[in-house]
């Protein structure tokens, strides 16, 4: 399978399918949302059913291999991947939402990410006690979001067995930060930059 280069992109060198997704369907946007940030825009990927399907299929395979029975998807961009991955893997989906969006009793966690601070919540009864959960997001950057999500899953009585992300920004140290806080949770990354 191969992906056409974007307009003006020229010929691509020989690459794996996932590397082609990175090269052609995820765009760098400079100085967004703040000066100095290189924002990874995944909207071209979402608009291409072949690329989107490749990513969802690969992440669903990680879920099956992990034995997870539920996916915790992180608002907002994480939802775009986590919901189709949950369906493809045949497991349930639990939304981890930004503060104030869930209607019933929640656990909540404050955190800092690459360019902001935020609070996320999950319903207190979202999981079957002790069930295995895969956390799914689009990007692992500083790791602040992922660390907070793993804590919430534990607070809610489940067992986070993996973190699955489309892309990891290695230079921001999220993997190391996540591993320091949750050494028992495997990190699955499709694309490392
Ligand atoms: O590793 P970190 O430094 O924590 O950054 C990663 C997070 O940043 C983005 O979420 P954000 O809340 O900015 O945006 P969204 O609402 O569009 O998903 C992204 O979707 C990850 O959840
Ligand atoms: N550089 C970045 N691009 C897109 N999403 C992000 N979330 C945190 N850092 C990001």
> Which residues have C-beta within 8 Å of that of residue 90, sequence separation ≥ 6?
64
77: annotated active-site residue: yes
- Element containing residue 25 per DSSP (H, E): helix 17-25
How far is residue 157 from each of residues 19, 26, 42, 52, 150, measured CA to CA in Å? 37, 35, 32, 32, 11
ipTM of the complex: 0.99
pLDDT digits (tens, 9 = 90+) for 178-189: 999 999 999 999
- Element containing residue 27 per DSSP (H, E): strand 27-30
What residue has token string 């949750």? 182
The catalytic residue among 75, 114, 121, 168 is 114
Work out the number of other CB atoms within 10 angstroms of the CB of residue 113.
17
> What are the helix (H) ranges across 67-128?
77-89
Give the residue, out of 141, 146, 165, with the most ligand 1 atoms within 8 A of its beta carbon, to mutate for a pocket test.
141
CA–centroid distance, residue 117 to ligand 1 (Å): 10
pLDDT digits (tens, 9 = 90+) for 138-187: 999 999 999 999 999 999 999 999 999 999 999 999 999 999 999 999 99
Q: What angle do CA 69, 64, 90 make, to 5 degrees?
A: 60
- Whole-model pTM: value is 0.93
Among the bound ligands, the one closest to the CA of 150: 1
């Amino acid at each position: 399978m191969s992906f056409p280069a974007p307009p003006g992109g020229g010929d691509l060198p020989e690459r794996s399918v996932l590397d082609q997704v990175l090269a052609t369907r995820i765009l760098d946007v400079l100085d967004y949302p703040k000066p100095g940030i290189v924002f990874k825009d995944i909207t071209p990927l979402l608009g291409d059913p072949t690329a989107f399907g490749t990513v969802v299929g690969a992440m669903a395979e990680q879920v099956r291999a992990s034995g997870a029975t539920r996916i915790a998807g992180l608002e907002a961009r994480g939802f775009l991947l986590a919901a189709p991955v949950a369906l493809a893997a045949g497991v349930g989906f639990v939304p981890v939402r930004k503060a104030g969006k869930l209607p019933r009793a929640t656990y909540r966690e404050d955190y800092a990410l690459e360019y902001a601070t935020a609070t996320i919540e999950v319903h207190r009864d979202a999981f079957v006690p002790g069930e295995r959960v895969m956390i799914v997001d689009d990007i692992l950057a500083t790791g602040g979001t992922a660390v907070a999500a793993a804590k919430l899953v534990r607070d809610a009585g489940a067992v986070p067995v993996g973190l699955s992300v489309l892309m990891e920004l290695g230079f921001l140290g999220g993997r190391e930060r996540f591993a320091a806080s949750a050494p028992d949770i495997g990190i699955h990354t499709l694309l490392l930059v």
